[in-house]
Amino acid sequence: MSESKSRYSDIIRLAKEEDQIASQPENQIASQPENQAEKLVNLCVKVPESLRRHWAAEAKRQGVTMTEVMAAALEARFGKP
Protein backbone atom coordinates (compact mmCIF):
# COMPACT_ATOMS: atom_id res chain seq x y z
CA MET A 1 0.00 0.00 0.00
CA SER A 2 2.76 2.47 0.87
CA GLU A 3 4.52 1.73 -2.43
CA SER A 4 1.34 2.69 -4.35
CA LYS A 5 0.90 5.81 -2.29
CA SER A 6 4.51 6.82 -2.88
CA ARG A 7 4.19 6.23 -6.61
CA TYR A 8 1.03 8.34 -6.86
CA SER A 9 2.50 11.13 -4.76
CA ASP A 10 5.54 11.16 -7.06
CA ILE A 11 3.27 11.43 -10.11
CA ILE A 12 1.27 14.25 -8.52
CA ARG A 13 4.44 16.10 -7.51
CA LEU A 14 5.86 15.85 -11.06
CA ALA A 15 2.59 17.06 -12.58
CA LYS A 16 2.55 20.08 -10.27
CA GLU A 17 6.16 20.90 -11.15
CA GLU A 18 5.40 20.66 -14.88
CA ASP A 19 2.34 22.87 -14.45
CA GLN A 20 4.41 25.50 -12.65
CA ILE A 21 7.10 25.39 -15.33
CA ALA A 22 4.54 25.65 -18.14
CA SER A 23 2.92 28.68 -16.55
CA GLN A 24 6.15 30.67 -16.52
CA PRO A 25 6.39 33.14 -19.44
CA GLU A 26 10.09 32.42 -20.07
CA ASN A 27 9.14 28.97 -21.34
CA GLN A 28 6.71 30.45 -23.85
CA ILE A 29 9.29 32.57 -25.67
CA ALA A 30 10.12 31.29 -29.15
CA SER A 31 13.72 31.19 -30.22
CA GLN A 32 14.82 34.31 -32.06
CA PRO A 33 15.31 33.83 -35.82
CA GLU A 34 18.91 34.28 -36.96
CA ASN A 35 18.09 37.24 -39.21
CA GLN A 36 16.18 39.14 -36.50
CA ALA A 37 18.43 41.58 -34.66
CA GLU A 38 15.66 43.47 -32.85
CA LYS A 39 15.27 42.93 -29.10
CA LEU A 40 12.27 40.81 -28.06
CA VAL A 41 9.89 42.20 -25.42
CA ASN A 42 6.96 40.76 -23.46
CA LEU A 43 3.38 41.33 -24.56
CA CYS A 44 1.04 40.83 -21.60
CA VAL A 45 -2.55 39.80 -22.23
CA LYS A 46 -5.03 39.08 -19.45
CA VAL A 47 -7.26 36.07 -20.20
CA PRO A 48 -9.24 33.65 -18.02
CA GLU A 49 -6.98 30.97 -16.57
CA SER A 50 -9.14 28.15 -17.96
CA LEU A 51 -8.71 29.46 -21.51
CA ARG A 52 -4.97 29.92 -21.04
CA ARG A 53 -4.59 26.33 -19.87
CA HIS A 54 -6.63 25.05 -22.82
CA TRP A 55 -4.66 27.12 -25.34
CA ALA A 56 -1.32 26.15 -23.79
CA ALA A 57 -2.23 22.46 -23.95
CA GLU A 58 -3.39 22.73 -27.57
CA ALA A 59 -0.25 24.62 -28.58
CA LYS A 60 1.90 21.95 -26.94
CA ARG A 61 -0.05 19.16 -28.70
CA GLN A 62 0.44 20.89 -32.05
CA GLY A 63 4.13 21.56 -31.43
CA VAL A 64 3.95 25.35 -31.56
CA THR A 65 4.45 28.04 -28.95
CA MET A 66 1.74 30.43 -27.90
CA THR A 67 4.13 33.24 -28.83
CA GLU A 68 4.24 32.01 -32.43
CA VAL A 69 0.45 31.74 -32.60
CA MET A 70 -0.18 35.17 -31.09
CA ALA A 71 2.45 36.84 -33.26
CA ALA A 72 0.96 35.26 -36.41
CA ALA A 73 -2.57 36.36 -35.43
CA LEU A 74 -1.46 39.94 -34.73
CA GLU A 75 0.55 40.08 -37.97
CA ALA A 76 -2.43 38.74 -39.96
CA ARG A 77 -4.74 41.33 -38.42
CA PHE A 78 -2.48 44.40 -38.39
CA GLY A 79 0.40 43.53 -40.73
CA LYS A 80 4.03 44.47 -40.30
CA PRO A 81 5.28 48.06 -40.00
Domain boundaries, the chain: 40-81
Confidence of residue 16 (pLDDT cuts 50, 70, 90): confident
What is the sign of the dihedral through the CA atoms of 47, 51, 53 and 55?
Answer: negative
**How far are the Cα atoms of 1, 15, 74 from residue 4, in angstroms, in the given order?**
5, 17, 48
**Rounded (5°) CA angle 45-69-65:** 95
pTM, full prediction: 0.52
pLDDT of residue 11: 81
Q: 40 and 5 in contact (C-beta within 8 Å)?
A: no
